[in-house]
Amino acid sequence: MILARFLKPVLVNLLLACGLLISSPSNAIDHISPPSPSTIENTNIKRFLPNDEIKPILAGDTEFLSLYSEYMSRDFKGIALLIPDWNSTASNNTGMSYLRKELNNLGYTTYAMTVPDIDWQASDMQAPSEAQQNAAQEQTEQSNSESEAPKPNNEPHYVNAIDTVSNAVLNNYKTNLILRYKALYQRAMSEPNNIVVIAQGASAGVLMEYYADFPDSKINAFISLSSYLPNTQRNESLSQTTSLVTPALLDIYYANDDTDILMSLKNRQRWVNRNAKFDYRQRQLFGLRDAPEQHARLSKEIDGFLRRLF
User: Is the pLDDT reported for residue 295 higher than 70?
Assistant: yes
pLDDT score recorded for residue 25: 54
User: Per the domain annotation, does 226 fall within a domain?
Assistant: yes
pLDDT confidence band for 150 (50 / 70 / 90): low
User: Is the pLDDT reported for residue 247 higher than 90?
Assistant: yes
pLDDT score recorded for residue 201: 95
CATH classification of the domain holding 262: 3.40.50.1820
Compute φ and ψ for 225, nearest 5 degrees: -115, 110
pLDDT score recorded for residue 228: 94
User: Per the domain annotation, does 130 fall within a domain?
Assistant: no
User: Per the domain annotation, does 268 fall within a domain?
Assistant: yes
User: Per the domain annotation, does 234 fall within a domain?
Assistant: yes
Higher pLDDT, 14 or 107: 107
Asked if 218 contacts 250 with a C-beta cutoff of 8 angstroms, the reply is no
Higher pLDDT, 120 or 127: 120
Mean pLDDT over 85-108 rounds to 93
Higher pLDDT, 158 or 108: 108
DSSP code string of 248-303? EEEEEEETTS-HHHHHHHHHHHHHHHHTT-TTEEEEEE-S-TTSHHHHHHHHHHHH
Query: To the nearest whole percent, how much of the chain has pLDDT over 90?
Result: 61
User: Per the domain annotation, does 72 fall within a domain?
Assistant: yes
Higher pLDDT, 310 or 72: 72
User: Per the domain annotation, does 212 fall within a domain?
Assistant: yes
Query: What separation in angstroms does the CA of 5 have from each of 1, 15, 188, 201?
Result: 6, 16, 86, 76
Higher pLDDT, 21 or 104: 104
pLDDT score recorded for residue 47: 93
User: Is the pLDDT reported for residue 137 higher than 60?
Assistant: no
User: Per the domain annotation, does 25 fall within a domain?
Assistant: no
Q: How many independent structural domains does the chain possess?
A: 1
User: Per the domain annotation, does 1 fall within a domain?
Assistant: no
Distance of CA 123 to the CA centre of its chain: 17
Mean pLDDT over 138-161 rounds to 53
Domain assignment of residue 191, given as a range: 37-117+164-307
Higher pLDDT, 292 or 177: 177
pLDDT confidence band for 33 (50 / 70 / 90): confident
3-state helix vs strand vs coil in the chain, percent to 5: 45, 15, 40
pLDDT score recorded for residue 131: 46
Tens of pLDDT, residue by residue over 43-57, are: 999 999 999 999 999
